[in-house]
Structure 1
Amino acid sequence: MGPQGATGGADAVDPKVRRMAMLAAADQAIGKESDILDSLAAAFSEAGYHLYLVGGSVRDALLGRLGEDLDFTTDARPEATREILDAWADVVWDTGIEFGTLSAERHGRQVEITTFRADTYDQVSRNPEVTFGDTLEGDLVRRDFRCNAIAVELHGDGSRTFLDPLGGFEDCVAGVLDTPGAPEVSFGDDPLRMLRACRFSSQLGFDVAPRVREALNEMADEIERITVERITVELNKLIGGADPSRGIDLMVDSGLADLVIPEISDMKMTQDEHRQHKDVYQHSLQVMRQAIDQEAPGEPDLVLRWAALLHDCGKPATRSYNEQGNVTFYQHEVVGSKLVRRRLKKLKFPKKTIQEISQLVYLHMRFHGYGEGKWTDSAVRRYVTDAGDLLERLNKIVRADCTTRNRRKAARLARACDSLEERIVELAEKEDLARVRPDLDGNEIMEILDLQPGKQVGQAWNYLKELRLESGPMEREDAILALKKWWHEQEEKEQHDGA
């Protein structure tokens, strides 16, 4: 599969035509930024330095997807860059000046400029000894992939020149990820680049070169040198890509997933001899793809994507066979939810994100407890209440979880989803389903039962909430009668137990 650009797949277009089209598209995209680029280039030129647009900015311009983030490199040392930017920009940040990087903003647009680097690595940590270089090629050769090692020199007169000493342009044309030097050296310098290969495969739709794939397979365990925080950033970028299945496949096949998130590769279960269950791994990828298809335009919904991918991760630990020899996965949603919480906690995901993803995994089977047209008011209330703010995402996962090729079964499940959502709307018109609370609050309970704050008040509140879920809203007088009856039964039970 070729890169995803404005000119279509690489296989569908003559390479020469594609090269010309990509260069023209890039030149046009960069030209649209002339308001900021020309003045910045002129400022560096007047000071006697060169300025280059570089890295992902050039790659994305060639692929027809240039965004607002613009990255530059220069032969100017950090102190000289700071002096130039102070005169040119509205605001300058020098928090990265130790590494040769300064950021600036002019007329609401941000830029990041880094002095040529010629770092050296010890092949033990991923922290380089930062040294500044003297040549553009020396700076480019230290980058992760050749497609990210293309530069555009910006001249002071507004003209520009494409520079590609390492062949990154041809990689963009072919849709290939390859390293500037030997991949073993590149990944040894910084093992995070292995996960970046998976991430770029997801974001760009690129394949990895054979030598890169071989190095991934041989060096996967080097990823353990990387901090968990950096791994998590790459995982989120991967799953937020245009086609995360590509990146996940590469991560699983190379063995990286075994080390960073084994719950994914564990789903590659060997099917039983009768093939009574689906390939859980492939099914999960398909569910994720179908969930993505339901996303609203804009930013990817990472919570939805993670939950869809991991919804069945509890199946490997719960697979069993009943007396008839049929395969079962009883309570896999409960086990899966626990696995997700444990793994995401190790990966240091935010607490709220962990709660949301694990809750969606826990709830994804709730829908299947009811057949088409069999949703009672009580069942709808409980479904909505348990889902809470996750209701819309839960409904998307339920729909995405249908990957059967049986058209009748698929149509039946779709009708059941439609029926549930219709019932939710109908009941919501009568009740406030977003806030199902008891008909009496804690203060009223204490006053009616003459109680002090404590456990008994909480028990009474929980009883009224269950009653509310089961029966719907009640008149105040009916709620009071129900509360008093329940309290009387509790007192009688205590007396009986104490006798």
Structure 2
Amino acid sequence: MELLDIPDVAGELGDRFRAAGHGLYLVGGSVRDALLRRGSTDLDFTTDARPEQILEIVAGWADTTWDTGIEFGTVGLRRGDDTLEITTFRADQYDGRSRNPVVRFGDTLEGDLVRRDFTVNAMAVEVHSVPGERRFVDPYGGLAALAVGVLDTPATPEESFADDPLRMLRAARFVSQLGFTPADRVTAAMTAMAGELTRITRERVQAEFTKLLMGAHPRRGLELLVDTGLAEHVVPEVPAMRLAIDEHMQHKDVYTHSLVVMEQAIDQEEDGPDLVLRLAALLHDVGKPPTRRKEPDGRVSFHHHEVVGAKMVRKRLRELRYPKHVVDEVAQLVYLHLRFHGYGKGEWTDSAVRRYVTDAGPLLERLHKLVRSDCTTRNRRRAAALQRSYDSLENRIAELRTQEQLDAIRPDLDGNAIMTLLDIPPGPLVGRAYKHLLSVRMERGPLAPEDAERELRSWAAEHL
């Protein structure tokens, strides 16, 4: 009985290597995911053949080959719809200052596997088209670790993380994605070596952090980052929230509250993981520690923490090299997340509701989810009252949207009409008139054409 299924394309390729006197092995995450019955489009192979021999073996069989990674022993190829990577056995050495190895090719599969990040990724299976003769290679106990969900390293974790500190973030990412538990020695090494993460570029750190956030168990991954001190080198604002008691006095700290909010936001996702929503939920209260004040009555306040927090979020996400649209959207959600609490018992005017929708723009549905998730009080009566208030606000929004197409609020006169009525050329003055009419539209709702013209002429009499 076969331990795992081997794709036909891998069997064909393995036969070519076998005929040439070389072995070909499916390796790493490809094997791990196959054993977990997780769908994976990645097919990674290792072989004793050198790069120039690999190119000779696949010549005439591969539709396309590329050698951009050949200095690291990797040849890429495409066969039909399949994309494959084949890497010569490696026995690299690292300088301890960067994560760039001094590439040295190895001679044994076991020597190649020991340099991999974790035992669950250090398994290999020989590929060719003869099922009964395929060899499963697991010298470091990866299958046993996979069975119990333990994350350990083939070599000592100190050696592994010294070679590539990014592996510490990968450990937290696998905790989030796969629900693994790191071995005690792995956690100890991550804690002792957290500072080594500074050797890694911000782009690579961000990529791993994003994968962690998008995993099935992001809270577990984040808690590992915080507990080991790695978070101080990725998002220091998150562990800093452990110092602040929230204003409801219902949580030990704002950090725990934020993790709960993130989990509640995830429960509201409808079309798969939403990076912007998850970041906003995690970071919505990062402005609390610097705005924490003890009031005369003994309560703790965090006045304007949404404003401070939005600035902090923008700075941190830029530093992590997130795309501009992610930075802007997360910062705007953080800035707006408290706006609802001014709604009170529903006494907002229509103009206030319009401004709420207009300021949220395309983020409105995410804002709904974030605000609802931000209710973590254990007081059931208070929680129910907050949800009823937000239901009321959403109903108001729906009614206004039906009445006046709230999603596309525009002044009652466009720029061309303004220039015609005032007999002025394009320029800043048109923009100022446009903003005035937009403000009037927000406050009073739609105007009849003659009323809009009257408002414009009244404004022009004072400003022209």
Please name the residue that 1:497 is paired with. none
Give percent identity, aligned residues only: 61
Q: Residue 375 of structure 1: CA displacement?
A: 4.3
Q: 1:474-499 CA deviation, whole Å, 9 max, x = no partner?
A: 222111111112233446xxxxxxxx
RMSD (CA atoms)? 2.0
Question: Tell me, what secondary structure is at the counterpart of 2:93?
Answer: coil
Please name the residue that 1:448 is paired with. 421
State which of 453, 464, 468 in structure 1 corresponds to 2:441. 468
Query: 2:247, 2:301 within 8 Å by CA — same for their partners in 1?
Result: no
Please name the residue that 2:214 is paired with. 240
Please name the residue that 1:360 is paired with. 333
Please name the residue that 1:188 is paired with. 162
Distance 1:63 1:374 in 2: 54
Distance 1:314 1:257 in 2: 17
* CA separation of 1:157 and 1:274: change in aligned 2, threshold 3 A: closer
Tell me whether 277-286 or 329-338 shows the greater mean CA deviation. Answer: 277-286
Distance 2:214 2:98 in 1: 28
Please name the residue that 1:57 is paired with. 30
Please name the residue that 1:11 is paired with. none
Q: Residue 276 of structure 1: CA displacement?
A: 6.7
Q: 1:145-182 CA deviation, whole Å, 9 max, x = no partner?
A: 11110111113424433210011111111211111111
Tell me whether 445-454 or 72-81 shows the greater mean CA deviation. Answer: 445-454
1:343 corresponds to which letter in structure 2? R
Q: Residue 260 of structure 1: CA displacement?
A: 1.9
Distance 2:315 2:248 in 1: 33
Distance 2:184 2:250 in 1: 36
Superposition pairs for residues 6-405 of structure 1, below 5 Å? 27=3, 30-31=4-5, 33-159=6-132, 160-271=134-245, 275=249, 279-298=253-272, 300-405=273-378
Question: Tell me, what secondary structure is at the counterpart of 1:73?
Answer: strand
Query: 1:372, 1:415 within 8 Å by CA — same for their partners in 2?
Result: no
Q: Residue 297 of structure 1: CA displacement?
A: 3.7
Q: How many residues align?
A: 463
Q: 1:284-327 CA deviation, whole Å, 9 max, x = no partner?
A: 011111111111244x2111111110000000011112232221
Q: Residue 374 of structure 1: CA displacement?
A: 3.5
Give me the TM-score of the superposition, normalised by structure 2. Answer: 0.95
Distance 2:184 2:429 in 1: 67
Query: 1:45, 1:156 within 8 Å by CA — same for their partners in 2?
Result: no
4+ residue runs over 6 A deviation:
none
Question: Tell me, what secondary structure is at the counterpart of 2:434?
Answer: helix
Distance 1:278 1:474 in 2: 51
Distance 1:303 1:274 in 2: 26
Distance 2:321 2:180 in 1: 29
Please name the residue that 1:481 is paired with. 454
Query: 2:247, 2:300 within 8 Å by CA — same for their partners in 1?
Result: no
1:312 corresponds to which letter in structure 2? D
Q: Residue 372 of structure 1: CA displacement?
A: 4.3
Please name the residue that 2:383 is paired with. 410
Tell me whether 182-191 or 34-43 shows the greater mean CA deviation. Answer: 34-43
Tell me whether 268-277 or 67-76 shows the greater mean CA deviation. Answer: 268-277
* CA separation of 1:278 and 1:390: change in aligned 2, threshold 3 A: farther
Query: 1:276, 1:327 within 8 Å by CA — same for their partners in 2?
Result: no
Query: 1:57, 1:66 within 8 Å by CA — same for their partners in 2?
Result: no
Question: Tell me, what secondary structure is at the counterpart of 1:87?
Answer: coil
Please name the residue that 1:17 is paired with. none
2:15 corresponds to which letter in structure 1? A
2:179 corresponds to which letter in structure 1? G
1:352 corresponds to which letter in structure 2? H
Question: Tell me, what secondary structure is at the counterpart of 1:267?
Answer: helix
Q: Residue 357 of structure 1: CA displacement?
A: 0.8
Distance 2:274 2:283 in 1: 14
Q: Residue 241 of structure 1: CA displacement?
A: 0.9
Please name the residue that 1:12 is paired with. none
* CA separation of 1:209 and 1:415: change in aligned 2, threshold 3 A: same
Q: Residue 275 of structure 1: CA displacement?
A: 4.1
Distance 1:213 1:93 in 2: 39
Query: 2:23, 2:48 within 8 Å by CA — same for their partners in 1?
Result: yes
Distance 1:448 1:156 in 2: 80
Q: Residue 211 of structure 1: CA displacement?
A: 1.1
Structure 1 unaligned regions, length at least 5: 1-23, 492-499
Q: Residue 196 of structure 1: CA displacement?
A: 1.1
Distance 2:51 2:395 in 1: 62
Q: Residue 51 of structure 1: CA displacement?
A: 1.2
Query: 2:244, 2:289 within 8 Å by CA — same for their partners in 1?
Result: no
Distance 2:250 2:256 in 1: 15
Distance 1:482 1:350 in 2: 41
Tell me whether 367-376 or 343-352 shows the greater mean CA deviation. Answer: 367-376
Structure 2 unaligned regions, length at least 5: none
Q: Residue 338 of structure 1: CA displacement?
A: 0.1
Q: 1:9-59 CA deviation, whole Å, 9 max, x = no partner?
A: xxxxxxxxxxxxxxx8x83xx42x533222222222222221111111111
Question: Tell me, what secondary structure is at the counterpart of 2:100?
Answer: coil
2:439 corresponds to which letter in structure 1? E
* CA separation of 1:272 and 1:244: change in aligned 2, threshold 3 A: closer
